Chain A
Amino acid sequence: MADFNGTVGIGSKRLVVGAHYGIGGFLAQRITAIVLTAYVLLIAVRMIGMELSYDNWAGMFAPVWMKVVSLVAILALMYHAWVGVRDIWMDYIKPLWLRLSLQTLTALWLLACAVWSVQILWRV
Chain B
Amino acid sequence: MSMSTAASATRKSRPEFRNIHVTQIVSYRLPAAGIVSILHRISGAVLFLVLPFLLWLLDLSLTSEISFERLRGVVAGPIVKLILLGLIWALLHHLIAGIRYLFLDLHIGLDPAPSRASALAVFAVSVPLTVLAGLRLFGVF
Contacts and interface: CB of A to CB of B under 8 A. Distances in A.
A70 B52 CA distance: 16
Interface stretch (A1-9, A11-19, A80-88): A80-88
Interface string B42-71: 001101100110010011011111001100
A120 B51 contact: no
Interface residues of A, number: 23
Quick one: which of B58, B62, B65, B91 has the most chain A CB within 10 A? B62
Contacts, number: 53
The interface residues of chain A, by DSSP majority, are classed as helix
B102 A85 contact: no
Interface string A76-112: 0000010011001000000000000000000001100
Contact of A54 (B68, B99, B102): B68
B61 A34 contact: no
Contact of B95 (A37, A110, A116): A37
Contacts of A84: 44-45, 48
9 contacts: A30-B105, A54-B64, A54-B65, A54-B68, A81-B44, A85-B44, A110-B51, A120-B55, A124-B62
Given A84-B44, A116-B55, 4 more contacts: A58-B61, A85-B44, A113-B51, A117-B58
Interface of A: 30, 33-34, 36-37, 40, 54, 57-58, 61, 81, 84-85, 88, 109-110, 113, 116-117, 120-121, 123-124
